[in-house]
Amino acid sequence: MKLGYTILYVNNVLKTLNFYQKVFGFEIKFLHESGDYGELNTGNTTLSFSSIDLMEQLGKNPGKPHPDSPCFEIAFITENVEETLQAALTAGAELIQAPEKMEWGQTVAYISDPNGFLIEICTEVAN
């Protein structure tokens, strides 16, 4: 068994793919011709996006993310939190928490992506 992919429901799949490509450097792995589903190549697990419209057509009723009361977060590891944070803010993200050096040696910052999903931008945990 392995985790294959995570799918986030968004209003505009292409805009979302472009945001993650621009900020985090992920390559677009797949975009369905309808524009309702797309995937990013993020390593072993694929980060995917499906349009809210498509999910509603399939009989689902997806909720909207709330960065002030998140139920999950996605964490991206980088060597330069400040640089990645600035790229995210320039691309339309909202600052949730400025970079902070944690007692266990990791630097962590939080943003809300343009869809409202909570994203952690962090360094590796120091050993």
**Whole-prediction pTM value?**
0.91
Domains of the chain, start order = 5-57 (3.30.720.120), 74-122 (3.10.180.10)
Pairwise CA distance, residues 121 & 77, whole Å: 6
How many beta carbons lie within 10 A of that of residue 87, not counting itself? 17
CB distance 68 to 112 below 8 Å: no
* Helix and strand counts by DSSP (H, E) for the chain: 3, 8
CB distance 40 to 7 below 8 Å: no
pLDDT tens track for 23-80: 999 999 999 999 999 999 998 889 999 999 999 999 999 988 988 888 889 999 999 9
